[in-house]
Amino acid sequence: MKIIFKNEQFSFQTLRLLTGVPAGQADINEVIETAQRITGGDLDSWREEWAKTGDRLLAHAHEFERQGHAASAAESYLRASSYYRAAVFYTGLSLYDGCGEEVKERLEELEDKALDCFRRSMELSGEAEPVAIPYEGTTLPGYFYRADQPDGKPAPTLLLIEGYDGTKEELYAYALYANKRGMHCLTMEGPGQGEVIRKMHLPFRPDYEKVITPAVDFLIRQSQVDAKRIVLWGESFGGYLAPRAAAFEHRLAACVANSGVYDFMGPRIGKNIDREADFQKFASMPEFLLKIGMNRTMKDPQNRWAIKHGVYVFGAKDPRDYILKTKDCYLGRLASQIQCPTLVTDSDGDANFPGQAKKLYDALTCRKDFIVFSKEDGAEEHCQMGAKLFANARIFDWIESILSNLPE
């Protein structure tokens, strides 16, 4: 589904912003009016036009707050955060293309604004509290959204992680849906994600159980959390990260992979080609042949973004190094180790990881369920972008059914 732009990347990211409208993370005409000012395919134009809209909303927020209208200020800060977040979305591409110091400083400034606006929104609304999760000599950032507990009993908790390009702030809507259903929610970022890559400079690692286990440790120390009812949900590339963690972290009550990823590079490996041999061939490929292949591949805007962003978030030296670093993002021998009930989803128009969700589902030996979202329901895009109200209802219903059948 193309939204305003012919450029597939800009179109999808615009749809992604519109998806935040029901939760108050964006407004329809703010998104459309801004998108119409942007020159298609121009990263500078994309960054600066979203920044202008963010600045306008920030000014409104300051004025509302000055007048003592905390709720209106919180709402404006929340939307400003989304637009600033959009402005820095292509940071990896700008850095890959060798942007100057002025652009780097601008990206850092806008990243700070995105984070500051979200934090101020949460301070004013009281919807979430920032938390720091101990991790290998440092801490990882997150937000904890507490559900109302009229009976005072510990409640189930949803642990939410994003994927290849998302942030904990973007998961705000999911947390509200969890709270509505009586669940606490912890949204967090690990290596490769959000401010952890942009400010802490920690790249992705394939063994994401090293990230999730400290988060589970953190949650079970919270007095209002039911330690036997912690559910892990991973979005997009999180559809690999969450099942990978669940293969080793067996204190989880359930796992959601939306959408499932069995082998990160699987769709890029030809049929009937040995996986190990393919990576070895790529590792030893002469530089001039690699350059020819990469130039051909990156003519496609989606591939160009995926590779350049991948170099950034995996902390790679170049495209070859990036692809080799993804080799271990593979659940081939690990899927059978998952013990908790697991939901795998797919969308029938999702071209990001074609066939990967079904491969993951087939490899599971635990209690498992599979949902394919359709164009008929407007949910055919990657991670059902543009149809989150319907998709999240289906996924949360599954979570509730699992939790309701657990022994007290």
Whole-number pLDDT of residue 189? 98
State residue 152's pLDDT score.
83
The domains found in the chain, sorted by start residue, are: 8-124 (1.20.1440.110), 128-264+329-404 (3.40.50.1820), 267-325 (no CATH)
In this structure, which amino acid lies at residue 305?
W
For 265-293, what is the mean pLDDT? 87
Inter-residue contact 340 to 250 (CB < 8 Å): yes
Which pLDDT score is estimated for 340?
A: 98
For the whole prediction, is pTM greater than 0.75? yes
Residue 91 pLDDT = 96
Give CA separation, 249 vs 10, 137, 235, 370, in Å.
37, 20, 18, 21
More confident residue, 117 or 349: 117
Task: Evaluate if residue 223 carries a pLDDT over 90.
Answer: no
The two tokens of residue 150 are 């009229």
What is each CA distance from 262 to 28, 251, 327, 331, in whole angstroms?
A: 35, 22, 12, 5
| pLDDT > 90 fraction of the chain, expressed in percent and rounded | 88
The rounded distance, in Å, linking the Cα atoms of 228 and 231 is: 9
Average pLDDT over residues 194-222: 97
Contact 164, 153 (CB under 8 A): no
Spatial CB neighbours of 13, under 8 Å, sequence gap ≥ 6: 86, 89
Give the pLDDT band of residue 7 (cuts 50, 70, 90). confident
Structure token digits, residue 203? 């790249």
pLDDT number for residue 375: 94
pLDDT above 90 (res 107): yes
Q: Please give the biggest Cα pair distance in the chain.
A: 67
Rounded Cα–Cα distance for residues 175 and 169 (Å): 10
- pLDDT (0 to 100) of residue 146: 96
Read off the pLDDT of each residue in 296-319 and give the average, rounded to a whole number: 93
Average pLDDT, rounded, for the chain = 95
- pLDDT reported for residue 315: 97
Mean pLDDT of 66-94: 97
Give residue-wise pLDDT tens across range 36-76: 999 988 999 999 999 999 999 999 999 999 999 999 999 99
Distance (Å) of CA 241 to CA 143, 153, 205: 19, 30, 9
User: What is d(CA 385, CA 148) in angstroms, rounded to the nearest whole number?
Assistant: 29
236 prior amide bond cis, ω within 30: no
Distance CA 195, CA 167 (A): 8
By CB neighbour count within 10 A (0-12 exposed, 13-18 middle, 19+ buried), where does 48 fall?
A: middle
Q: Which residue has the higher pLDDT, 273 or 86?
A: 86
